[in-house]
Amino acid sequence: CIDSSEGFSEWQRITLRYIHEHFGNDVKVGAGNVVDAEGFRFLAEAGADFIKVGIGGGSICITRETKGIGRGQATALIDVCAERDRYYEETGVYIPVCSDGGIVHDYHMTLALAMGADFLMLGRYFSRFDESPTDKVKVNGTYYKEYWGEGSNRARNWQRYDLGGARKLSFEEGVDSYVPYAGPLKDNVNITLAKIRSTMCNCGALTLPELREKAKITLVSATSIVEGGSHDVILKDKFGRN
Give pLDDT tens digits for 212-230.
Answer: 999 999 989 999 989 998 9
Distance of alpha carbon 152 from alpha carbon 58, whole angstroms: 13
Distance of alpha carbon 40 from alpha carbon 3, whole angstroms: 14
Instruction: Name residues whose C-beta falls within 8 Å of residue 14's C-beta, 6 or more positions apart in sequence.
Output: none
Q: Is 197 a catalytic residue?
A: no
185 within a domain of the structure (yes/no): no
157 within a domain of the structure (yes/no): no
* CA 49-55-128 angle, 5° bins: 90
Question: Is-cis flag, bond preceding 33, omega within 30?
Answer: yes
200 within a domain of the structure (yes/no): no
Q: Is 61 a catalytic residue?
A: yes
198 within a domain of the structure (yes/no): no
Give pLDDT tens digits for 182-213.
Answer: 999 999 999 999 999 999 999 999 999 999 99
221 within a domain of the structure (yes/no): no
77 within a domain of the structure (yes/no): yes
Of residues 17, 86, 160, 197, which has the active-site annotation? 160
pLDDT of residue 38: 98
Mean pLDDT of the chain: 90
Of residues 61, 71, 84, 212, which has the active-site annotation? 61
Tell me the backbone φ, ψ of residue 112, rounded to 5 degrees.
-60, -40
24 within a domain of the structure (yes/no): yes
pLDDT of residue 162: 56
Collapsing DSSP states into helix, strand and coil, what is residue 96? coil
Domain, as residue range, for 73: 1-121+206-211
pLDDT of residue 116: 97
- The CATH number assigned to the domain holding 66 equals 3.20.20.70
Distance of alpha carbon 149 from alpha carbon 132, whole angstroms: 14
19 within a domain of the structure (yes/no): yes
Closest CA relative to residue 84, chosen from 71, 97, 74, 73: 97
Give pLDDT tens digits for 87-101.
Answer: 999 999 999 999 999
Domain count, the chain: 1
Q: Flag whether pLDDT at 167 surpasses 70.
A: no
